[in-house]
Amino acid sequence: MNRAFNRKKDKSWMHTPEALAKHYIPYNVKFLGNTEVEAPKGTEVVKDAVRKLKFQRHIKKSEGQKTPKVELQISIYGVKILDLKTKDVQYNCQLHRISFCADDKTDKRIFTFICKDSESNKHLCFVFDSEKCAEEITLTIGQAFDLAYKKFLESGGKDVETRKQIGTLQKRIQELETENSELKQQLQDLEEQLMISHEPPAGSMSMKPPLSTDVFDMVPFPPPPPWCPHRPATAAHPHPPPRKDLFGAEPFDPFTCGSADFPPDIQSKLDEMQEGFKMGLTLEGAVFSLDPLDSRC
């Protein structure tokens, strides 16, 4: 790798080898973007890229767009660029594809690296704003290169092929995750369309026809239900209830009273009166039936 920090060669590394070999070193930075460059290395090459991306970012800032924040994960396998909130991998720059790395001498916040794209084989320059720790990030990438080179010598070159296979698998995983997210979004859109299709149109809350009105714009009374005589299941009262007088009292009928309602002497008088009443009705019927002027004779 061609580095612009050769002046720092005599400086000891900042991280332990295990941190870069078995894990990664994270940095939160602002991502100004990337742009294609003509050469894989060179200080002037990255300076032109920085000026170009700064100008583009200035225009976007004037339009109200903020510079996106990302997380860098640096290890002996490469540099990953992740969304700071969702942790989605935006770029996975394998270490053997990075050809140049430098920090800006005039602006301590800016650092860049050039990486060869695996699909287009074009050289892309990535530019970041690191809040005055550009030199530290550049040294961390340099330490990752140094450890990766030592591991390459110890493995006799076999580790390079392994890293390529791992990189290919990581890329495939990223593509599958992207495809999975797109399919989930399509499924959600279909579910929303299905819910909308089942909803009634606006203004039609009820499917009932409007009620007809008469000439006075009034709704007519509904027709009465068909009359059906009510017959009780059990005839507890075979006779209709007695009618009441003006004072709400039931009329007195001495002949319908039970024998136990009066003393014996009074009850005997009532029985005599009832017999006499029956005889009177019999005689009255006989008189009518013997009348010579009666037309029925």
pLDDT in tens, 229-256: 555 555 445 556 656 666 666 666 655 5
Q: Which two tokens stand for residue 15?
A: 């991280």
Residue recorded with tokens 């008088």? 269
Burial 232-266 (b: 16+ CB within 10 A, else e): eeeeeeeeeeeeeeeeeeeeeeeeeeeeeeeeeee
Residue 295: predicted pLDDT: 47
pLDDT tens per residue across span 112-168: 999 999 888 899 999 999 887 899 999 999 999 999 888 888 877 666 666 667 777
Query: Which CATH fold topology does 17-155 show?
Result: PH-domain like (2.30.29)
Residue 10: predicted pLDDT: 43
- Amino acid residing at 284: E
What is the pTM (predicted TM-score) of this model?
0.52
- Measured CA to CA, the distance from residue 48 to residue 37 in angstroms comes to 9
- Measured CA to CA, the distance from residue 169 to residue 159 in angstroms comes to 15
Length of the chain: 297
- Amino acid residing at 238: P
Cross-strand partners of 33: 127
With beta carbons less than 8 A apart as the criterion, state whether 139 and 8 touch: yes
Residue 38 CB contacts under 8 Å (≥ 6 apart), including other chains: 45, 123
Residue with the bigger pLDDT between 279 and 113: it is 113
The torsion angle over the Cα atoms of residues 145, 146, 150 and 152, rounded to 10 degrees, is 10
- Measured CA to CA, the distance from residue 112 to residue 123 in angstroms comes to 13
Q: Which two tokens stand for residue 97?
A: 């594809």
